[in-house]
Amino acid sequence: MNGLEQLAIRAGQELEDSPAPEILRWAADTFGSRFCVTSSMADAVVAHLASRALPGVDVVFLDTGYHFPETIGTRDAVAAVMDVRVITLTPRQSVAEQDAAYGSQLHDRDPDLCCALRKVRPLEEGLARYDAWATGLRRDESPTRAHTPVVGWDARRGKVKIAPIARWTQQDVDAYVTEHGVLVNPLLMDGYASIGCAPCTRRTTAGEDARAGRWAGRGKTECGLHG
């Protein structure tokens, strides 16, 4: 176990019961500019929290080329009004180039490969300059996220992974958004509980968990970013 991994495991234990701002303050103090937030632009809650701990913090957004226009609009609004630096990562190939190489609609035929090309690889390359990254993962989103640590070790990338709102509920998120006037993607008011690429996202219905609308009917629940 290397020093960074030891640090992550210890912080995960010590900060388990700490409020999100305290977790992010620890991250800012420990990693400084080697720390970033990733955001899907469903909402800007973690970016907002992080900007208070580390003004001008890097907010990394993956532009897969398949996003809803509302998601791109949310990213642009976040960049315009928040004290953050939005960094947009793009895949090596445009959608047209990928279609030429693999055939069109790869997301329907092989979503794991499509996510690997358009999400996993660009994020891996984009995170290379950081030691720690924060996400908006929450334990109540789905069974696959139920054991998310507030600070853990991302063994695949050799980085500290921080989930400052892991213990939050949807009600906590809604309350924070209201209290601080945080930007949210308008699709959240249009029946989408979780927002990803347009071809792989549908609205959810009452009683479904938040991520039920992602890759619905395809036996896939995660894009591979958080495996």
Q: How far apart are CA 175 and CA 15, in angstroms?
A: 22
- Binding test (CB under 6 A) with ligand SF4, winner from 121, 199, 222, 225: 199
The answer to whether 62 contacts ligand SF4 (rule: CB under 6 A) is no
The answer to whether 107 contacts ligand SF4 (rule: CB under 6 A) is yes
Which residue's CB atom is positioned nearest to ligand SF4?
A: 197
- Which of 114, 115, 197, 223 is the catalytic position? 223
The answer to whether 95 contacts ligand SF4 (rule: CB under 6 A) is no
**Contacts by residues 145-150 (CB-CB < 8 Å, ≥ 24 positions apart):** 145/226, 149/12, 149/16, 150/12, 150/15, 150/16, 150/18, 150/23
* Beta-sheet strands, E only, within 79-208: 84-89, 132-134, 151-154, 159-162
Judge whether 114 counts as a catalytic residue: no
Q: How far apart are CA 190 and CA 68, in angstroms?
A: 13
* Chain residues 122-181 in contact with ligand SF4, contact rule CB under 6 A: none
In which region does residue 195 sit, left (phi positive, over 0), alpha (psi from -120 to 50) or beta (all else)? beta
The answer to whether 200 contacts ligand SF4 (rule: CB under 6 A) is yes
Contact stretch for ligand SF4 (CB under 6 A) within 44-52, 115-123, 143-151, 182-190: 115-123
- Binding test (CB under 6 A) with ligand SF4, winner from 115, 150, 151, 195: 115
What does the binding site for ligand SF4 look like in residue numbers (CB under 6 A)? 64, 66, 107, 111, 114-115, 118-119, 196-197, 199-200, 223
